[in-house]
């Protein structure tokens, strides 16, 4: 599972570098994010611009990550969703639970604004 983590102030930006975020590579993805949370990250942005396909297990994994982050008093947001991925997220209702932004910069800015909901998606 290829991801990159970048710190933008107090926000951890997790860039998924895989075209498909599916069951076989979710364990590694979850382990990386869990490590960030255990190290104290409370503002996490998962940037999915490279991802063109997600499966139902991926949706469940994103919800697990949200729960993990929120249990520690943190916030999870998503950005850069491709149309097919955004459709899957919308069909499952996750867009009503996790804040989603089309652009990374808008997502970064929203952490400071304290907004909840669907952002600028």
* Mean residue pLDDT across the chain: 92
- Which tens digits make up the pLDDT trace of 15-74? 999 999 999 899 999 999 999 999 999 999 999 999 999 999 999 999 999 999 999 999
Q: 43 in helix, strand or coil?
A: strand
Give the Cα separation of 9 and 77 in Å (integer): 15
- In the beta sheet, which residues pair with residue 16? 3
- Which tens digits make up the pLDDT trace of 92-115? 999 999 999 999 999 999 998 644
Class of domain 3-113: alpha beta
């Amino acid at each position: 599972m290829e991801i990159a983590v970048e710190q933008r102030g107090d926000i951890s930006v997790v860039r998924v570098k895989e075209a498909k975020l599916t069951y076989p590579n979710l364990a590694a993805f979850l382990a990386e994010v869990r490590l960030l949370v255990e190290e104290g990250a409370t503002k996490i942005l998962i940037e999915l611009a490279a991802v063109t396909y997600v499966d139902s297990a991926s949706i469940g994994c994103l919800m697990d990550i949200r729960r993990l982050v929120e249990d520690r008093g943190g916030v999870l947001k998503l950005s850069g969703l491709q149309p097919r991925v955004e459709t899957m997220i919308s069909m499952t209702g996750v867009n009503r639970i996790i804040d989603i932004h089309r652009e990374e910069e808008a997502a970064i800015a929203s952490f400071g604004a304290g907004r909840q909901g669907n952002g600028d998606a």
